[in-house]
Structure 1
Amino acid sequence: MITLVLGGDVNVQGRKTPSTAFERLEPLLKGAGLRFVNLEGPLDAVMAEALTSGGIDVVSCANDLTAPATLPVLDRAGIAHCGAGPTLDAAHTPAVLERSGEKVAFLAYTSLRPYGAHLEFPGVAQAFATTAYQPDPRVAEIPGRPPLVRTTPLPEHLDRLVADVKQAKAAHDHVVVSMHWGLPGAELTEYQVAYGRAAIDAGADLVAGHGPHTIQAVEVHRGRPILYSLGNLVFDWPAMRGRHVDGLLAGCMFGDEPRLELIPVRRNADNECVPLAGDEAGKVLRYVADLSARRSTTVTIRDGIASVGVGA
């Protein structure tokens, strides 16, 4: 059995002591067989100490426009990465790690173009979507009602993602798909659901979302989880100080009896990411449970930890 812990968006910059960035999360991280986060932003050799000290094994770089400079830093630090590379084929090549005699393949994609910039770096795995606006059905009787926003995956990107997952599943024991997508807040876009379910249908064991910087629902599709957004984890952007402070750590066990547990975390007044407990943990997890119920998924809360039924 393999235990995987996943966190959301991580940005490390300007820290006096990078090696302590994940210190308060160590009890939740150290027992895992594999640790994954989404790396959002540039990383130099000094700041890479945050990831190595935290025991992070693999990161997504699909949403990072500085990937050409960051990937060599990760390589020197011994941290696996996926979603970006010197060529498009490299970006679509999974990072593969082995634990307990089983291999886990990590694929990563981005649906977002940071800051509206054009993705000139050739090796970024893209999962873009089109946007259309449909008049509200009642606009004739109530002028001014906002339109419905309809989003659809780009067919060529969806086809490539499905092909990647099928190929990875054929060659490895487990497949994890990382998606940088969505909008801030509780509501899901249609393309998130389409991509997430397609990845599961193609053979992914788990889809981990991030990008909105807020927590979103969990959905179990065909017995396997889609974590639509884990929110922020360690996050040092000055513009994000005091904003979108809540996130989730997800613990997933692959094996004959798969399990998924969620633990809430929060960046405190010193911008240190710490686990929540007591009433504050309960509030966050009830929020997750309410959102997930809309996706026909039951989240059970006990002692500051949420469990999600998976498998079958």
Structure 2
Amino acid sequence: MTNCITLFLCGDVMTGRGIDQILPHPSNPLLHEPYVKSAEEYVELAQEANGAIQYPVNFSDIWGDAIDEWERLAPDLRLVNLETSITTSEDYWEGKDIHYRMNPANIPCLVAAKIDCCSLANNHVLDWGYSGLAETLQSLKEAKIESAGAGQNLQAAEAPAVMEIKGKGRVIVFSFGLATSGIPFSWRASEERPGVNLLKDLSEATVCQISEQIRKIKRSRDIVVASIHWGGNWGYEIDRDQREFAHRLIEGAGVDLIHGHSSHHIKGIEVYQDKLILYGCGDFLNDYEGVSGYEAFRDDLSLMYFARIEPLTGKLVSLQMTPTQIKRLRVHRALPQDAFWLRDILNREGKRLGTQVELNPDRTLSLKWR
């Protein structure tokens, strides 16, 4: 199947705060958090946990071993959930405890990773106000990185990113957010107000609305991705309404792949009607090193998801995953024992979803499904 489209997907990419501080052009480190008042403290915590970081680092350095893996597997498209505002704005959102910000001068870090598309319907894109959102959208546009899920009005926030894969077909990415992930209701875009594409609920009416949006744009050889920021940060349980919603999007709305995120750790994987559902992809890059509280979930571990999709049918042909670890604010290949741990978690959670994974000799994981 040489005409398959290979998508790279991952969970939350947080290039703000501590990550931003080690890049060549750090933002003002002032934070408005209850306990931490400077982003530099997150760099100090990471160093205390795992050793010294020589910074500023090059723009590509934060991606570490992921760079070689992207080159080796050569995906046709790279999609991330970008969970930070790209701005110099000081207009932080009052009443919110956490505010992620990356200096626009550091956007070459996303270019270095050859990110094609950023999902923005999440609970951090408006951390620095409407001016911060406007600068984020403009920065991505100038870097020639597509985005979906936020905009200057409802129509723009609902609009998908449409990307042509030469000789193969198109990938269409819709980005949706849910209040269960911590997105304030006040962030929902309207006809007159900027904001995010925040779904009211997971009802049949919402499925019908999404189905109509997809019907207007989808054509033969199009792969439609629903990138959804939903649910809490911790816990493996998948809400019944999330699972039913994912199934209905595949059955009746024309979605070919569900890219779910918000959980700080990986969650179970399902293949429904030969379509891939990632319920929670974990954090691919963050600055949580040295922050204690949920060690049992191993939020330092994540996966690079490489999904091969058949464009005519949207069916999953294969899913290969590369285990990774965040260490010294950088992506590393996971150690053998950590790859075993990820395999065991995916097999435990996959039992009820009809999937299992196998560990390959090169320490990648392959998905098997019924």
Q: 1:29: which partner in 2?
A: 70
Q: How does 1:183-202 map to 2 (within 5 A)?
A: 183=232, 184-201=234-251, 202=253
Which ranges in structure 2 are unaligned for 5 or more consecutive residues?
A: 24-56, 87-102, 127-131
State yes or no: 1:286 paired with 2:344: yes
> Normalization by structure 1: what TM-score?
0.83
The one-letter amino acid of 1:114's match is: G
Q: 1:8: which partner in 2?
A: 11
Q: 1:251: which partner in 2?
A: 306
Give the 3 Å change call, closer, same or farther, for CA 239–209 of structure 1 in structure 2. Answer: farther
The one-letter amino acid of 1:12's match is: T
Secondary structure at the residue paired with 1:109? strand
d(CA) in 1 for partners of 2:300, 2:288? 12
Secondary structure at the residue paired with 1:265? strand
Q: 1:299: which partner in 2?
A: 357
Q: Do the aligned residues in 2 keep the contact of 1:21 with 1:54 (CA within 8 Å)?
A: no
Residue 164 (structure 1) shift: 2.6
Provide Cα deviations, 1:181-223, integer angstroms capped at 9, x if missing partner: 1221111112221221122222222111110111111001001
Give the 3 Å change call, closer, same or farther, for CA 165–193 of structure 1 in structure 2. Answer: farther
Residue 60 (structure 1) shift: 0.2
Secondary structure at the residue paired with 2:137? helix
Alignment coverage as a number of residue pairs: 287
- The 4+ residue runs of structure 1 with deviation greater than 4 A are 237-243
The one-letter amino acid of 2:356's match is: T
Q: 1:41: which partner in 2?
A: 84
2:60 counterpart (19, 38, 61): 19
Q: Larger deviation: 204-213 or 9-18?
A: 9-18
Secondary structure at the residue paired with 1:104? strand
2:172 counterpart (102, 105, 123): 105
d(CA) in 2 for partners of 1:165, 1:239? 43
d(CA) in 1 for partners of 2:221, 2:152? 24
Give the 3 Å change call, closer, same or farther, for CA 241–264 of structure 1 in structure 2. Answer: farther
Residue 278 (structure 1) shift: 1.7
> Normalization by structure 2: what TM-score?
0.71
Secondary structure at the residue paired with 2:337? helix
Q: 2:47: which partner in 1?
A: none
Q: 2:198: which partner in 1?
A: 126
Q: 2:116: which partner in 1?
A: 57
Give the 3 Å change call, closer, same or farther, for CA 128–249 of structure 1 in structure 2. Answer: farther
Q: Larger deviation: 224-233 or 205-214?
A: 205-214
Q: 2:218: which partner in 1?
A: 169
Give the 3 Å change call, closer, same or farther, for CA 277–163 of structure 1 in structure 2. Answer: farther
Q: Larger deviation: 230-239 or 39-48?
A: 230-239
Which ranges in structure 1 are unaligned for 5 or more consecutive residues?
A: 130-152
